[in-house]
Structure 1
Amino acid sequence: MFKTTNGIKVPKHLDSVTHIDSKAEISPYDVGMTRDNVEAIWNSIESFYKTGLQPGMSLVIRRQGEIILKRSIGHAKGNPPPSHSEDTHPPILMTPDTPVCLFSASKAITAMLIHKLQEEGKLKLNDPVGQYIPEFACNGKENITIAQVLSHRAGVPTIPIRNPHPSLLFKWESVIDLINSSHTSKGDGSQQAYHAIVGGYILGEIIRRITGTSVDAALQNYIAKPLGAKYLTYGLNPEYQDKAAFNYSTGAKPVFPINVLAKRALNIDFDKVASISNGRHFMNSTIPAGNIYGTADEVSRFYQMLLDGGEYEGKRLFEPGTIKRATRPVGPITIDQILMIPMRFSNGFMLGENMFSLFGIQARKAFGHLGLINIVTWADPARDISVAFMNTGKSLDPKTLPALGKILVSISSNCSLIKNS
C-alpha cells in the first residue's frame, strides 16, 4: 500500500479499482493522437491516485468531438481516509457515469443560463442588477451590473456575516436578503475578487425573477435536457442521491495562510466542506455557484457543445455569437483579491494562458472552470478538446498541486495543437 497523511488505502494493483469504457473510447489515431499519448495522460491520473489524496476520480476527454478517454479510478464510497470514519459504506467503485458534485465548476454552466437570457432579449449584461432585483440597489451597489457579477468584479465577494453556519447555504431567501442589504465600496467594477458563493445566488435570483420559474427549471430546459443529461442538476433528485460519489477531506490539515484564504473564499472552514456536501440538505438544495452534479461525460458534453458553436446532435442550445461573448476576456490577467493568485476571467469562465494555467501549457484560447481545488473542466479550441476531470478528494496537501499540474501538462502536451486553429 502507498501511504500519505490522512490518505486512502491504495491497492498495489490499480486494475482492481480502474474502470475503462472501451466501447466509448475510439482509436486515438482517428483524431491525430497515438496510444502512447492516451496512456501518458492516464499515467498522470494514476500518479495522482497513488498519492492517496483522491478516493475517486473520473476523466472524459473528447478530441474533435470523439471520446478518447472515458475512465475512472478508485471508489465512489467506502474507502475513506481516517478523517471520515462516518463513511461505513462497503467499497463502491467509481465509474465514469458516477454523478459527482462540480462545486465551483458549476459557475460556468450557471453563467450560460444568463447568456441564454441575453440571447433571448430578456436582459443585457450591462444592465444594473437592481433593474431585476430592486432591493439589491443600495449601499454602494446601485450601479453594479450583471456583467460585473459574472466576471467577479461586483464588489460583494462574500456573504456579509461573520462565521455563518453552513446551513445558511440551504436557505435561499435568507442569503438573498443578506446580499441585498450588504454594503460595498468596490461596486464600480475596478477590483477583481472571486465571488465563490454570492455571485451564483445573484445570478440565480435574476433568472428566477425574469423567467418566473426556478433556476433548476432553467438549467433543465436550456442545457440538461437538450444535452440528454441524466444529471446536470442543482443538487440531486432523491432517487439519485445514493448514486453520488462522496467527497472527502484528505491529506495534511491546511495551515496559515492557506486555511485563512480558503475560509475567506468559501465563508466556512475548508475541512468542513466535504462532510457538508455529503448530506441530504446539500443535495436537496440549490446553490447556483456550487452544487451542480453531473458525470464526467455530461460535463465534457457541455463543453463540446460550446466548441461546436452551441449545437449538440442537431439541436441548437446557443447561438455562436453568444458563446463568443461568454468566453471573451473581460480584462488582463490580474491578482485576484480573494484567491491571491493571477487569474483572467471572461463573463462566466476562467481563461487559460500561454505559459502554465489551469488548462495546461500553451492554452491561451482555453476556457473553463475550477471546482474546489482539484476538479477542472474546460474546452480548448486550439486543441479541439473538451475535458472533464472530476474527483472527490478535497485537499490542500502540498502534494496536491504538483500532482494536478502534472495532469494538466500531460493533457495539453499529448493533445497537440491543431494547425490553423
Structure 2
Amino acid sequence: MKTRSILLLTIIILSAIKASAQYNFSKVDSWLNDHASEMGGRVVLVVYKDGKVVYNHAVNDMNMRQKFVGRMIARKQGKKADLDDYTSTSRAAIASCSKWLSAALVMTFVDEGKLKLTDTVGKYLRVLSQNGKGGITIGQCLSHQAGIKTPPLKESLQEMRQENSMDEAMADIAALPMEGTPGKVFHYSNAGLQIAGAIIEKISGKNFETLFAERIAQPLNLLHTDFGNAKVALPAGGAYSTPEDYLTFLTMIMNHGVFNGKRILSENSIAQMQVNRITSDVKIAYSPAEAGGLGYGYGEWMFDEHTVSSPGLFGSFPWIDKDKKYAAFMMTFYIKSDGRQQRYHELKQLVDEAVK
C-alpha cells in the first residue's frame, strides 16, 4: 500500500514537472522585467491555453516618481491611491478594455431578438431623432461609425462623469455636431457605446450595471468586475476588473461564446464582433496613435489576421490568438502611450513563441 502511494505521488510530481516544462516563458519573464519601468512600474500577465492558466507572472518595481504620479491621479479623482503590488487578483480601472465587455453585453440582446444591429437609434431614443441622429444604427454605435464629432477621449470621459442620468447623457450627445455620414466615418470615442448602453436600459427597464451583472458577470463568475456603480455607467471606459476575471471573459470569447458548458453568446454574435468594419470606403476621423493601421469590429480591434484585442488608456492589453488558441491579459497602469503598439507586438510575439 505504501509502495503504491509513493508511486502515485511520483506520477503526480512528474506530471506537474512535464506540464510546467511544456511551455518556456523565460523570454517573456525577461521582457516584463525589462519593460515594467516603462509601464508604470507594475505589470502582471496571465495566459490561458489548453483549458488552464499556463502563465501568471508579475513585476512590481515602482519608483518614487511613479508613486507620486499615482497619488496625483488618485487625488484628482477624489480617491485613495492604490500603490500595492500587482497580482492576478488585483482590481483596477481598465479603461477601453471595457468596450469589449459592453459590446458583448449588447450582443446578448441581439441573440435574444430584442435588438437588431440594423435597428436605428431613433427607434428607442427620441432625443437623437430630434437632433438629426435618429438614423444611426446599433451596429454603427458598436463600431465607432456613428458619425458624431466628439471631444477628445479624456475630455469626453470627464464630461460624462458629471452627468446625473443616462437621459442627460443622451441629451448632451444628441447636441454634438455630425462629422460625416453614419457608417462612412470611423471615430474612436465613447459616444456610440454610451448610446447602445442607453438603448438596452430603455429596452429592459434596468440600469446598465445590473444588466452587466446579470448577463455577463454572474454567468462567468466574474466576482470583481463591474462598472463602478457610478450615477451613469460608462460602457466605453468605466469598468474595473482583475486579470483573472478578464481572462475568464476572454476564454468565453475564444470558446465561441461558451463558458463551463453554458452558452453566453451565440457563435454568430462572436463572429459578428470580429468582422473588420473599417472598409476602404470608411474615412478615419480619429484613431489612437497606438492603434494605427488596425481594423475594428464591435468592441474589439483586429490586431492582425487572427488576433483580436481591446487595449485600454492605462496600457492594459487583452488579446486572443484564434490561430494558436490562447488568450492573455496584461494589466498595467500608466498614461504615456509612446511605443505602446510596438511593445504589444513584441510581447505577443514572445508569448506566441512560448505557447507554440
Structure 1 length-normalised TM: 0.70
The residue correspondences of 1:199-238 to structure 2 (distance < 5 A) are 199-235=192-228
Superposed displacement of residue 412, structure 1: 2.8
Aligned length: 330
Q: Which residue of 1 aligns with 2:176?
A: 182
Q: 1:148 and 1:323, CA in 2 relative to 1: closer, same or farther beyond 3 A?
A: same
Q: 1:332 and 1:412, CA in 2 relative to 1: closer, same or farther beyond 3 A?
A: farther
Q: Which residue of 2 aligns with 1:369?
A: 310
Structure 2 residue ranges without an equivalent (≥5): 1-14, 75-79
8 Å contact 1:327–1:347 — kept in the other structure? yes
Range moving further from structure 2, 53-62 or 68-77: 68-77
Q: 1:27 and 1:310, CA in 2 relative to 1: closer, same or farther beyond 3 A?
A: farther
Q: Which residue of 1 aligns with 2:48?
A: 62
Q: Percent identity at matched positions?
A: 20
Q: Which residue of 2 aligns with 1:384?
A: 325
SS in 2 for 1:372: coil
Q: 1:161 and 1:346, CA in 2 relative to 1: closer, same or farther beyond 3 A?
A: closer
Q: 1:89 and 1:165, CA in 2 relative to 1: closer, same or farther beyond 3 A?
A: closer
8 Å contact 2:140–2:192 — kept in the other structure? no
8 Å contact 2:225–2:240 — kept in the other structure? yes
Superposed displacement of residue 407, structure 1: 1.3
Q: Which residue of the other structure, out of 59, 76, 95, is the alignment partner of 2:87?
A: 95
What are the Cα deviations for residues 80-133 of structure 1, in whole angstroms up to 9, with x where unaligned?
A: 344445579696322110112110010011001111101001010011111111
What are the Cα deviations for residues 285-330 of structure 1, in whole angstroms up to 9, with x where unaligned?
A: 6211102111111111111111112221122212222212222222
8 Å contact 2:228–2:238 — kept in the other structure? yes
Q: Which residue of 2 aligns with 1:277?
A: none
What are the Cα deviations for residues 328-384 of structure 1, in whole angstroms up to 9, with x where unaligned?
A: 22244777321262221112221122xxxxxxxxxx122221111621112121111
Superposed displacement of residue 216, structure 1: 0.6
Superposed displacement of residue 71, structure 1: 2.4
Give the number of the structure whose alpha-carbon radius of gyration is greater. Answer: 2
8 Å contact 1:235–1:284 — kept in the other structure? no
Do structure 1's residue 80 and structure 2's residue 66 form an aligned pair? yes
State the AA in 1 paired with 2:44. Answer: S
8 Å contact 1:56–1:393 — kept in the other structure? no
Q: Which residue of 2 aligns with 1:45?
A: 32
Q: Which residue of 2 aligns with 1:16?
A: none
Superposed displacement of residue 55, structure 1: 2.8
How far apart in 2 are the matches of 1:234 and 1:179?
A: 20
More helix, by proportion: 2
State the AA in 1 paired with 2:293. Answer: P
Q: 1:295 and 1:118, CA in 2 relative to 1: closer, same or farther beyond 3 A?
A: same
Superposed displacement of residue 29, structure 1: 5.8
8 Å contact 1:102–1:293 — kept in the other structure? yes
How far apart in 1 are the matches of 2:232 and 2:123?
A: 26
